[in-house]
Amino acid sequence: MWDVHYKMFNRKEDKMAPKNKFTREEMIAAALKIVRRNGAGSLTAKAIADELGISTRPVFTCFGTMDTVKNEVRQAAEEIYNGYIGEGLKEKIPFFGLGMQYIRFAKEEPELYRLLFLMQTADGSSGAFQSMVHSQETARGSLVKTYNMTEAEADRYFRDLWLVVYSIATLIVTDCCPYSDREIGNILTGFSISICRSIKEIKGFASDSFDRDEIFKRLTAE
């Protein structure tokens, strides 16, 4: 008798909570597609439901809230970005490769770039700064090895060059960049050489403990 009641209870549960037609991964893929096409502001439960041809109920059954969806879409976007950065670090000159891949990401994935670098994260912090720190940690070992720097020097080098790359990439996604890939490559090369020489030739440059006035006096006297 207990067995019968148990089976009937299970059947009732099955009817009350039908299985989702789409997996969590498929829903995130659909959400990512929406962001790529229309931007992060267009990501809603209804938009995901319409993309998959379902009601909004399975979306909330799977994720609970849209904040969870947005966090997982951000993680998926970061994985795509990391793929670009990984390719850049394989280049003979790693930071040049990384910088050009960063710019390529901005060109090929403008809405994902906006999501990661021009919008705040869920906790209100800067998405750009968080991603910069993550990229810095990814690139540190390669920079230390290639340029024969300490970790502190590599971090300074990365930070200064990243600010230039970030500026150019942001100009690109806002349709304000007048420069060709060749020109951008030359800009990055010039800044890279200047910062690398400064780190190696100016004592205390990496730690911001150098005499700025003295350096400029020497430069203007030459």
In this prediction, residue 220 carries a pLDDT of 83
In this prediction, residue 17 carries a pLDDT of 47
Contact 76/40 with Cβ under 8 angstroms? Answer: no
Sign of CA dihedral 117, 119, 121, 123: positive
| pLDDT, averaged across the chain | 87
Q: Count of alpha carbons within 13 Å of 6, Cβ hemisphere only?
A: 3
List Cβ<8 Å contacts ≥24 apart for 152-157.
152/206, 152/207, 153/199, 153/206, 156/195, 156/199, 156/205, 156/206, 156/207, 157/95, 157/195, 157/196, 157/199, 157/206
C-alpha 73/C-alpha 58 separation (Å) is 17
In this prediction, residue 131 carries a pLDDT of 78
Per residue in 139-174, pLDDT (tens digit) is 898 889 888 999 999 999 999 999 999 999 999 999
Per residue in 161-216, pLDDT (tens digit) is 999 999 999 999 999 999 999 999 999 999 989 999 999 999 899 998 888 888 88
Which CATH code, of 1.10.10, 2.60.40, 1.20.58, 1.10.1740, is assigned to 1-64?
A: 1.10.10
Tokens found for residue 61: 């059954």
Contact 28/76 with Cβ under 8 angstroms? Answer: yes
Q: What is the rounded average pLDDT of the residues 9-26?
A: 64
C-alpha 159/C-alpha 157 separation (Å) is 6
Among 33, 28, 40, which Cα is nearest to 173's? 40
Greater pLDDT, 128 or 154? 154
Contact 146/127 with Cβ under 8 angstroms? Answer: no
Instruction: Find tokens 């990512």 and name the residue.
Output: 32
13 DSSP 8-state letter: H
Report in angstroms the alpha-carbon separations of 130 from 42, 94, 96, 113, 123: 23, 21, 21, 13, 12
Greater pLDDT, 20 or 34? 34
Residue 15 has pLDDT above 50, yes or no: no
Residue spans of the domains in the chain: they are 1-64, 92-221
Contact 169/102 with Cβ under 8 angstroms? Answer: yes
Bridge partners of residue 201, in order along the sequence: none
Among 40, 44, 41, which Cα is nearest to 56's? 44
Question: Residue 12: which pLDDT band, with cuts at 50, 70 and 90?
Answer: very low
